[in-house]
Amino acid sequence: MLDDISGCTRCALAERRARIVVGDGDASARVMLIGEAPGAKEDRTGKPFVGAAGRFLNELLDVAGLRRDEVYITNVVKCRPPGNRDPKPGEISACRPFLERQLSEVRPDMVITLGRVAAKDFLGRKVSITHEHGTVVEHGALRVFLSFHPAAALYNPKLRDVLVEDFGQLREALENRGGTLATTLDQFF
C-alpha cells in the first residue's frame, strides 16, 4: 500500500528520515488504528509501533479481542518529527492525501485514534483526550474510538490501567457494532 511514496519530499520531515513508515497489517481490516507519527525505532525499521509503545499496543489489542495481524496500523504523518515532537499542521496536511488513500483502500468500519493529535486530525475538531478517551463517536459512516496513545502510559504509568479499561470498552463496542461498511469515504476529509 502506498508503494509510490518512497521518495516523498512534500515536507521538511523528509530531510531527516531514515524510512517512510507507511503502515502495517491487514489491508482489508475492519479496524484501523491511527497514531500521530513514527518514533525512532519506527524510523529505523519502516514499521509502525515496534518499540515499547508497540509492545503495549499489542497487549491492548489482546484486551480488545484483536490480533495485530488482523488490524491495519498507520500514523497521521509518515516520517518521524525531530525529537518526537508533535507533527506541525503543514506536515499533517502534506501527509493527508496518503491517509485518505489508506482509508479508501482499507475501508475499515471502525477507526481507533491513538492520542490527541490523531483524534484532532481525524475528526477535524479540538479533542480533549483526557475527557473523551474510551468513547465511540460517529464520523460520517464510520465509528471512531478515541484513546490515549500507548506511549502516554510509558511516561505516566497511571494511564496504563486507563488504557486497558479503554480497550476493554473497545472490545464491547466491536462486539456490539451495528451497521455496514462505509460505501464512500468522501465525507471524512
Domains contained in the chain, CATH given: 16-174 (3.40.470.10)
Q: For 22, list phi and psi in degrees, rounded to 5.
A: -75, -60
DSSP assigned state of 109: S
* Tens digit of each residue's pLDDT (9 = 90 or more) over 74-111: 999 999 999 989 999 999 999 999 999 999 999 998 99
Percent of the chain topping pLDDT 70:
93
pLDDT bin (cut points 50, 70, 90) of residue 141 is: confident
Please say if the pLDDT value at position 178 is more than 60. no
Q: Please give the Cα distance from 44 to 65 (Å, whole number).
A: 29
In which region does residue 179 sit, left (phi positive, over 0), alpha (psi from -120 to 50) or beta (all else)? left
